[in-house]
Amino acid sequence: RHGFRRSPQGSVLWLFTVMLCLYSLFFSWRANLDITKPLFLGVVERFWLQSNLVVCALSGCGLASVCSTLQRLIGVKVIGERAEWLTAIVLIALQLHFNFRNCNQSSNYVVDKFARNILESMDSNAIILMRGDLPGNSLRYLHYCEGQRPNISLVDQEMMTYEWYLPKLAKHLPGVHFPGNRWQPMEETFSDGTITFNLHRFLNENKHKEIFVCIGLHEGDPTWKWSYSLWPWGCCEKLVPSKTIFRPEDWIRVTSNMYNWTEKYGSFDPLLWEAVANEEMWQARMKTPFFIFELAERPNQAESATAQLYTYAYQLYQEMVKTEEHPVNWHKNYAIACERMLRIHAQADVAVDPDFLLSETIKHFSLYVEKTEDDPQKDAITQMVSHLKSELQRMRKLSKG
């Protein structure tokens, strides 16, 4: 204890301090995540735990230094080492007291359940084209570490574009045919013998299996659109040959109770991956009615077919908005579906009271405007609501008169 600056310990401390600063500055400079998004802020906060080790070491030395300075000033030996130990223990105990509950994740199975639900929903010989950290890591963990669904093949979309991925991993995915060494939208043969293939060729070569994408397909290669379509499958989507006829009743039956998800909506801190998993699982319920609604919007169809599709979308949404807490966009989707039902109610097989439809449209557009944060159409919707309200009054007057 010869003071901070002159001793060899002093130079080690300075070294640590400089390392800490360089490390923090360097990584803050290189980090390219958009921290205005809560999840990415959380990722950045959790990422650099190593620097905490240095902070702990420096705090310990700081405490020793403070104690020895105090002893020198007061000149009493009584406080001695015991006080130093006591202070250190109290500081650590306080940390535990305030943070343990937060760090005790022993009953947190949210991401685990997320991945299990997805795996369980797939056919036993399926190929899953994965994308992103959440499905990628959680599905890989269950599949490779816990041996769940051994006959499903997991293929990472992003990694399939790397030179090393298929040469090293293709042999571990028996039953999946890779028509080359690397995925790339442009099919080429390089001078070193590397052959690239596009998604369309990959799909044609693997027609013997069901193929799903979780979550979303890489935008860089649209060749699949030549002869495939994406149909909603919970959080994921299924790639089906475009010629396949879509039967809404069947698809509704297959997808409506696909997952067993019991977490409450919005019950996780948006800084956490659990919040993302929860959001995905909730929005998964909306995918089928959304898809059916989009089909109904296509021009040049028989009126009866359009009416039938709108009716399915309307009925599914109506069931969904009954939940107490649910994603805000469901209000908007349901309101739009009600409005379409109002337009086609003459052709609809199911008779729905126009007064009810108009009231529902108004109610759920209003709820949407009230709860949404950043919809550029907000003002337009507010205007439409007041217009619809006067329509409703007019309609009621007419029916009375």
The answer to whether the beta carbons of residues 264 and 280 sit under 8 Å apart is: no
Q: How many residues bind ligand NAG (CB under 6 A)?
A: 8
H helices within 32-132, ranges in order? 38-47, 50-74, 80-103, 110-120
Binding mask 125-164 for ligand NAG (x = CB under 6 A): -------------------------xx-------------
C-beta separation of 326 from 320 below 8 A? yes
Sign of the dihedral through C-alpha 317, 318, 319, 320:
positive
Q: Interacting stretch for ligand NAG, rule CB under 6 A, among 104-112, 181-189, 249-257, 285-293?
A: 104-112
One residue of 7, 52, 260, 304 binding ligand NAG per CB under 6 A: 260
36/262 with CB nearer ligand NAG = 262
Site string for ligand NAG, 228-257 (x = CB under 6 A): ------------------------------
Candidate list 36, 102, 107, 257; residue touching ligand NAG; CB under 6 A = 107
Q: Could you give the 3-state DSSP secondary structure of residue 239?
A: strand
Q: Which two tokens stand for residue 260?
A: 């067993």
In the complex, minimum distance from the CB of residue 280 to ligand NAG, in angstroms, rounded to a whole number: 17
Q: Which two tokens stand for residue 210?
A: 């069901």
Q: Min. distance of Cβ 185 from ligand NAG in angstroms?
A: 33
Among 106, 191, 300, 390, binds ligand NAG (CB under 6 A): 106
Q: Which stretch binds ligand NAG (CB under 6 A): 72-80, 99-107, 203-211, 347-355?
A: 99-107
CA–CA dist 342, 355 (Å, integer):
9
Cα–Cα nearest to 173, from 198, 205, 201, 200: 205
One-letter amino acid for residue 78 of the chain: V
Whichever of 7 and 260 has its CB closer to ligand NAG, that residue is 260
Quote the CA–CA distance of 399 and 401 in Å, as a whole number.
Answer: 6
Point out which residues bind ligand NAG (CB under 6 A): 104, 106-107, 124, 150-151, 260, 262
